[in-house]
Amino acid sequence: MALARSFLHTAGPVLESLVAREREHLGSVAAARAAALEQSNAELQQRVDEIERQRAQILRLSAPVLRIWRDVLAVPLAGTLEEQQIVHVSEKLLETIVETRARVAILDMTGLETIEVTAAERLHAIFQAVQLLGVQCFVSGVRPAVADALVNQGTAPRAETFATVADALAAAIRRCTAARR
């Protein structure tokens, strides 16, 4: 028993010192890992922010509202029209109509490959909103697959349609010129 007490008396401080050093080491490792995680999270957040800025830029560039004649706006639609994109187009087109007092808005679908159901419904709402603002809405360049999708979904435009954007522009200019006389 005396030997055990003597061993504990001698080994106890050594063990406590080892435990304290191990705790200190583990604390340092944990702090280093926490700092590394914070750094990784900050870098990831920067990447997410950059991706979000790029996404917003792509959205703005994917369907610009162009003033192509004094009273005529055009919106070239391309690729696959998704709901988020059409919401952006709607907001931007209606704002631009009010700002410019346009008389004709041409939605050019020449570059449009496909259209989602929700985007087609929203597109139909754009036609109606444009007309409620007193602006004539022309649609140009509808591809057969897109036309079929719009008809099947019951969202075919109740707007004047043209085979090409050039045809739509010519008609728009004639209308605007006649209205000014």
> From the centroid of its chain, how far is CA 152?
26
Q: How many CB atoms lie within 10 A of CB 167?
A: 15
As a whole number, mean pLDDT of residues 83-111 equals 93
C-alpha pair distances (Å), 150 with each of 21, 35, 121, 153, 172: 73, 54, 9, 5, 23
> 5-39 burial, b if ≥16 CB within 10 A, otherwise e?
eeeeeeeeeeeeeeeeeeeeeeeeeeeeeeeeeee
Sheet of 160-162, strands arranged across:
66-69, 72-81, 104-115, 136-140, 160-162
Write out pLDDT tens, residues 141-159. 999 988 888 888 877 777 8
Architecture of domain 63-180 in this structure? 2-Layer Sandwich (3.30)
12 pLDDT higher than 80: no
Write out pLDDT tens, residues 27-38. 888 888 888 888
Write out pLDDT tens, residues 40-88. 888 888 888 788 877 777 666 667 999 999 999 999 998 887 778 888 8
Write out pLDDT tens, residues 124-142. 889 999 999 999 999 999 9
As a whole number, mean pLDDT of residues 109-130 equals 87
Domain positions in the chain are 1-61, 63-180
